[in-house]
Chains A and B, each alone.
Chain A
Amino acid sequence: MTNAAATPVSGTATSKGTATTATRLIGAAALALTAFVVVSAFWLTPADAVQGESVRIMYVHVPTAWVAYLAFVVTAITSGFSLARRHRTLGFDRVAGASAEVGVLFMAMTLVTGSLWGRLTWGTFWQWDPRLTTTLFLFVTYVGYLAVRNIDTDPQRRARRSAVIALLAVLEIPLVHFSVVLWRSLHQEASVLNPDGDVRLDGLMLFTLFAGVVAFSLIYVWLVLHRQRLAALADARITTGLDAAIAARRAEAASTSGAGA
């Protein structure tokens, strides 16, 4: 039922999926680089003198955090464009939404890997340190943004509304960060350990970390490209899907009456 309506609507040459040559290349590069990072992170790089084996979490934690922040910056910029411009607002809106979805996913991974590392290194899953607290609020804020996007409405309305919410989030984050920093500094609790740890990075560790950042960024680009194409198909289905469905039913009626006669 749904496929019958979606296929004639897509209107592009790639009716079999959302992949193009470019995304296939990006995907292959991301896969190869990720494979290298896995091998290097587990076997080639040494354990840290202070933290031991737990330092290997860093090769996932740092790239996911980087991608999450990158994704939220992209969401903010594309939301601004979507609101300011008269044309192609929906295109920018779909990139903003796709980017926020991937950002929330990677921020969740950042929080999980960070907690696991914290348990091993600090002895607790969570520290109410300014950076962690801000990150947590950032995560909840974008979960709310996605909830607004998920409400069924016409794409234009969704685009304007979610763009405003995204820009308000940009306004909120510095305030949250500043207040949390002030909050912690006035309490003066002894921190268990410097959140950065005291990791000495040798050449291969640094290179693996860098490769991880590049690999995860490629995964991000790949996911966002696919996701926004999928969103474009879903939007097209809302706006022209009804016409297509009516046309399909008419054709069906014509063919069955023709067969009957």
Chain B
Amino acid sequence: MRRAFVVAKKDLMIEWRSRMLLVRVAPFALLVLVLFAVALDSEPLILRAAAGLVWLAMLFSSLLVVQRAFAIETDDAALDGLLIAAGEPAQVFFGKTIAAFVQLVSLAVLLVAGAIVLYGATVSASNIVLLVTTMLTASLGLASVGTLYGAAVANMNSKDSLLPLLAMPVAAPLLIGASRATEAAFGSQTIDAAAGWAWVALLAVFAVVFVSAGAAAFGTLVEAES
């Protein structure tokens, strides 16, 4: 597991030095929030849809994060070197998932703050634990799915158009679960906190399934490229 953290640290250091998350992904995510508000053009409607819009913006932004995570590996066939250095492909998968997870959690914080400021969403003190747990479990699921499918399309000619087509249907349960749990945390009339926790359980199952599947399949996917 130590090697996974080394891989994660490497990815995050590259991210920190290039500031890609800060100058490109974060502004894009906020822009999506603004564009949703403009397109829907109704304040009660925006408030009602706030949770879903936050997670849609997360889904779109996560694709950018994942594309970036594999762009740095496919240049100069760096992935081959990384696989040799890490020993096991699963370690590389864990490392890249951890790095994506850290970035996605910070994006989620930004987007939830955006929903509170721009959409007027409110979080009562009793719901903060639910909201934070949702953000963590959903980000982990999204990071593992993104890393898995990012590896699947890395080195393909048309990877930029393929990744959304492959990853988005898979992330559908996550989108549904995270949106509903966040809606509950925002104090919706239709979903209470107990139902919100039921959705968090689904998110946790999703994360466990795709972290395990990724660890098992990553080797086959990246070896097939070389």
Interface set of A (CB-CB < 8 Å, partner B): 83, 137, 140-141, 143-144, 147-148, 151-152, 157, 160-161, 164-165, 167-168, 171-172, 175-176, 178-180, 182-183, 186-187
Q: Mark B128-164, 1 if CB is under 8 A from A, else 0.
A: 0000000000000000000010001100111000100
With contacts A141-B170, A186-B195 known, is A147 near B162, CB below 8 A?
Answer: yes
Q: How far is the CB of A92 from chain B (nearest CB, A)?
A: 15
Q: In the complex, are the beta carbons of A161 and B170 less than 8 A apart?
A: no
Bound together, the chains give a CA A144 to CA B213 distance in angstroms of 18
Contact, CB under 8 Å: A164 / B217: yes
Known interface pairs A148-B166, A160-B220, A182-B202; A168-B213 also in contact (CB < 8 Å) = yes
Q: Are A164 and B206 in contact (CB under 8 A)?
A: no
Which of A171, A175, A183 is the most central at the interface, judged by chain B CB atoms within 10 Å of its CB?
A175
Is B173 an interface residue, CB under 8 A from the partner? yes
The answer on a CB contact under 8 Å between A161 and B169 is no
Q: Is B172 an interface residue (CB 8 A)?
A: yes
- CB < 8 Å: which of B172, B195, B199 contacts A137? B172
Rounded to whole angstroms, the CA-CA distance of A84 and B144 in the bound complex is: 24
Tell me which residues across on chain B come within 8 A of A175, comparing CB atoms.
Answer: 173, 205-206, 209
Q: Is the CB of A144 within 8 A of B202?
A: no
24 pairs, CB–CB < 8 Å, chain A vs chain B: A83-B220, A137-B169, A143-B165, A144-B165, A144-B169, A147-B165, A148-B153, A148-B162, A151-B158, A161-B224, A164-B220, A164-B224, A165-B166, A168-B148, A168-B217, A172-B170, A175-B206, A176-B169, A176-B172, A176-B173, A178-B173, A179-B176, A180-B172, A182-B202
CB of B6 within 8 Å of the partner chain: no
Residues of A within 8 Å of B71, CB to CB, are none
How far in angstroms is the closest Cβ of chain A from B51?
13
A141 near B156 with CB under 8 A, answer: no
A193 vs B4: C-alpha distance when bound (angstroms): 52
8 A Cβ contacts from B161-211 to A:
162, 165-166, 168-170, 172-173, 176-177, 180, 190-191, 195, 198-199, 202, 205-206, 209-210
Cβ of B221 under 8 Å from chain A: yes
| Residues of A with C-beta under 8 A to B191 | 186
Instruction: Name the CB-closest residue of B to A158.
Output: B224
Assembly CA distance A141 to B173 (angstroms):
13
Q: Are B172 and A165 in contact (CB under 8 A)?
A: no
Beyond A143-B165, A179-B177, A182-B202, whether A161 also contacts B221 by CB under 8 A is yes
Residues in B neighbouring A165, C-beta threshold 8 A: 152, 166
Inter-chain contacts of A161 with B (CB < 8 A): 152, 221, 224
Q: From DSSP, what is the main secondary structure of chain B's interface residues?
A: helix
**Chain B minimum-CB-distance residue to A182:** B202
For A83, the chain B residues whose CB sits under 8 A away are: 220
Within the complex, what minimum Cβ distance (angstroms) separates B104 from chain A? 19
B141 to A, closest residue via Cβ:
A175
Q: Are B180 and A151 in contact (CB-based, < 8 A)?
A: no
CB proximity of A202 to chain B, nearest CB, Å: 40
Q: How far is the CA of A95 from the CA of B27 in the complex (A)?
A: 46
The reply to whether A182 and B198 form a contact with Cβ atoms under 8 Å apart is yes
Contacts of B173 in A (CB 8 A): 175-176, 178-180
Q: Is the CB of B165 within 8 A of A168?
A: no
Q: Which residue of A lies closest to B205 (CB)?
A: A175
Residue contact B157 to A148, C-beta cutoff 8 Å:
no
Contact call A152/B177, Cβ cutoff below 8 A: no
> What residues of chain B lie closer than 8 Å to A147, measured between beta carbons?
162, 165-166
Q: Give the contacting residue for B209; candidates A167, A171, A180; CB below 8 A.
A: A171
With A144-B162, A157-B225, A164-B224 already in contact, 12 other A-B pairs whose C-beta atoms are closer than 8 Å: A148-B152, A160-B224, A164-B217, A164-B220, A175-B206, A176-B172, A178-B202, A179-B202, A180-B173, A182-B198, A183-B176, A187-B190
